[in-house]
Structures are given as structure tokens and as C-alpha cells.
Amino acid sequence: MLMKKLPAYRPQCCITPLAVAAEHMCFFPELRSQYSKLLERYQCMVTKNKRIWALAEPRRQTGKYLTPCFCPEIGNRKVEIVRDDMPSRTRTEQLAFPPVIRLMQLKERDSFKSFSNQRKSTVNRMLRKSMLSLYSRLSNKQPPTKKEKPKKLTDAEETLRQERWKKLAKPRVDINKEEEKKEKAAKLEKLEKAKQQKIPKGYGFMVKPKGAGSALRRFKNLSKPRQYESDEPKEWVLTNNMKYYTPSDRILKISKPRIYEVFDPEEVYRVKETALNYRATQRIRELASPPVYQYKPEVKEAPFKTSPNALKAKTSQRIVELAAPKDYFDKHTRPNPYKVSPNALRARITPRLRELAKPKTYML
């Protein structure tokens, strides 16, 4: 049997024979007799360039009966790396990416934390693709920067910070406003002292609670019946302000009536003498006449009149055949509908039909 080594991508330990017939000795007598012809054909037709022979060899031999390799040797095997995210090179694919700003706004939201890990990874992948696209690079889009965490302050720095905040929290003192407040407070004290009732000593009676008099007055006013205003018009009275009022130029202008232009209708519709004495030409008369369209009337003068050609027509044999009514045979209705067929008369009942023919019995 002829043996041949496979290319380098398979280990050298794995050798497979070529698929040649088992009884190959039967070809030798015929090859010997035609060896000279084969040699001439080889010299004339087959090229002897080694480069062409090297290119003609297949890269990977995939025979019909090629046995798989189960060898542990893996050092000589070639590994093909396939990327999960193939680079997008077309313009439409790059423009289809969502903008970087929207993706960054989505990541800054509080709801982004509740997303699943798979959804977060897709958002990060789309952000990376959009950042690395051609249009993002032309617009100089910068990658997102991580927010730096503030440094922890020491205890001494924290106390100083709290003291500073307390000082800043106090409002600024305005000297002028403080003096005004003091004056107002003194006036209010004087008014309160003046309002207080001077009661003689030893006069024992219950002091009225504060606001009791105002409440009684309110109840008295509410107990009175409601007074409705009459709908009668009031008498017009000429007051001094109305009598000696001087109107402005704007009111005088508005109070004037609207003045319309006076026109003479005879002058407006007066016809010129040349137009009255004008005589129209034959061409103008033709143009002035309305167009006459010769339409064929939709309704004939005698709609039920038979044309003379139809009266002279002769019927052909085919038209006579088509005009003859078709013979109809009634195959559905039987002549004797109540007649029992002979097969039904000869039928024998089966035990199954006897069971089904029995009526149902219910146990009470």
C-alpha cells in the first residue's frame, strides 16, 4: 500500500494511507504497454516548474476516508482565534451605535445599579464600540473618567470643619436693622401698657379672657338677617369732579365720529364715449361665442329599435348548439324513496350492535 504523510497541521505520528483500490496490481500490465505514450504526454503537457507544483498542492488534505487524529501531541497544531466582537468597518454600522452621551447618562442613573450583569456588560460593550468608532475619534470623544473618592479627614480636621460651618451658618449682623428692631419693640411695649385696663385694688371680679369681646360681636353680626341690595338703578348725580373734568386729547380723538369718504356714483360708473361707440370685429365675435362640443348622445332616439344588420344576420351551427337548452338528469331523487336495499335485507346483526341497541338503565 502507498503511504503519504499529511501536512504540518496534523501531528507526524498520525499517518493515513491513500484511498487506492485493493487489487492495484491489475493496472501494471496496461501501464507497461502505454508507458512511452504517457511519457511523451507528460513531457508535452505537464509543467516542470517547482513553484507551480508547490502552489498546486492543497493546503489541507480532506479525503473521503480520512481518519480523525486522536493523538495527544498538540504542539504542532495551528490555533485560529475568532473574536467575539468583530470590528465594524462599514459606515452604517458605526453610525448605528448609540451616542456616548446617552450611554453615559444611562450609567449615571440610579436605576442602572438594578440592571442584571448581562445588561450592564452590553451597555459597557456598546460604550466601548461607540468610543472607538471613526466618528467618535474625529469628534475627539474622551473616555469616561472615574470619580475620585474624597479623602478621609482626620479628627482634628473634622472638628475645624464643623466649627467653620457653624460660623458660616449664622446670618450677618446689620447694625442699622438692629437699632430699628429695638425702636419697634419699645413702641410696641408702650402701646401694650396703654391698652391695659387700670383696675382698682380690691375690686374682685373675673377678668374677661382675651378675645371674648370680639367673639361676641362676631356672633351678634351673624345673628342679624342678611341684607340684600335692591336691583333698582340708582339716581344719577352730577358730581363736582364730573362737572369740572377736562378730557385729554386721546379721549377727544376717540369721541369723534368716523368720517367716511363721499363719492359720486355717477362719476364712478361713467362709461367712456369710445367704449359706447365701439364696434366689435368678426374675430372678437367668434371668440366671444361659447364653444360648442359635439358629444354623442348617451340615450338613443329609439333605444328598442333593432339594427338592420342584426335583422339580416344568419345564425351559425355553433350558435344554434349553444342556444339549445342542456338536458338535465336528476340523479339525486329516487323513484321509490322508501324502498329497502337488498343488502340491508340480507344483513345480520352483530353482538356489538345488539349491545348498542339496548337502552341505558339507571340505578335509582
Residue 47 above 80 pLDDT? no
d(CA 169, CA 242): 60
16, β-bridge pairs: 4
pLDDT digits (tens, 9 = 90+) for 135-180: 787 787 777 677 778 888 889 999 998 998 888 888 777 777 778 8
Looking at residue 7, its pLDDT comes to: 45
Residue 134 has a pLDDT of 78
pLDDT at 253: 92
Residue 131 lies in a domain: yes
pLDDT band at 8 (very low <50, low <70, confident <90, very high): very low
Q: What are the cell numbers at 334?
A: 329516487
Q: Of 351 and 131, which is predicted with more confidence?
A: 351
Mean pLDDT of 179-195: 82
Q: Residues 87-93: contacts with CB within 8 Å, 24+ apart?
A: 88/129, 88/133
More confident site: 203 or 233: 233
Domain count, the chain: 1
- Residue 283 pLDDT more than 90? yes
Amino acid identity at 154: T
pLDDT for res 132:
81
Grid coordinates given for 359: 337502552
Which pLDDT tens digit goes with each residue over 287-299? 999 888 777 767 7
Residue 296 is assigned to a structural domain of this protein: no
74 within some domain: no
Tell whether 100 is covered by a domain: yes
The neighbouring-strand residues paired with 3 are 17
Share of the chain above pLDDT 90, in %: 16
Structural domain harbouring 127? 91-138
Helix H or strand E segment including 112: none
Q: Is residue 132 part of a domain?
A: yes
- Give 90-139 pLDDT, tens digit per residue: 788 888 888 888 888 888 888 898 999 999 999 998 888 888 887 787 78
- Identify the band that residue 202 occupies on the pLDDT scale cut at 50, 70 and 90: low
Strands 3-4 and 16-17: what pairing?
A: antiparallel
Sign of the CA dihedral running 192, 194, 195, 199: positive
User: According to the model, what pLDDT value does residue 254 have?
Assistant: 92
In a domain, 362, yes or no: no
The pLDDT score that the predictor gives to residue 323 is 92
Count of all residues that appear for the chain in the document:
364
Report pLDDT for 289.
92
Check: CB of residue 13 under 8 Å from CB of residue 71: yes
Helices 100-108 + 117-132 axis angle, to 10: 150
**Mean pLDDT of all residues in 14-23:** 50
Closest C-alpha among 142, 98, 162, 147 to residue 124: 98
**Residue 123 three-state SS:** helix
15-26: burial string, b at 16+ Cβ within 10 Å, e else: ebeeeeeeeeee
Of 185-189, 195-199, 285-289, 356-360, the one with minimum mean pLDDT is: 195-199
Cα gap 55→227, rounded to integer Å: 120
**Residue 123 belongs to some domain of the structure:** yes
- Transcribe 235-295 into DSSP letters: PP---HHHHT----HHHHHHHSPPPPPP--HHHHTPPPHHHHT----HHHHHHHSPP---P
For the chain, the distance separating the N- and C-terminal CA atoms, rounded to the nearest angstrom, is 92
Number of other CB atoms surrounding residue 10 within 10 Å: 20
Query: From residue 256, how far is each of 74, 131, 243 by CA, in Å?
Result: 113, 75, 20
With respect to residue 98, please indicate whether it lies within any of the assigned structural domains. Answer: yes
| Helix extents (H) in the chain | 28-33, 35-45, 50-56, 91-95, 100-108, 117-132, 134-138, 155-169, 175-195, 212-223, 240-243, 249-255, 265-268, 273-276, 282-288, 308-312, 317-323, 342-346, 351-357
Where is average pLDDT lowest: 76-85, 238-247, 296-305, 355-364? 76-85
Helix (H, G, I), strand (E, B) or coil at 130: helix
Predicted local confidence at residue 248, as pLDDT: 92
Q: What does the radius of gyration of the chain's CA atoms come to, in whole angstroms?
A: 61
Q: For the chain, give the mean pLDDT.
A: 78
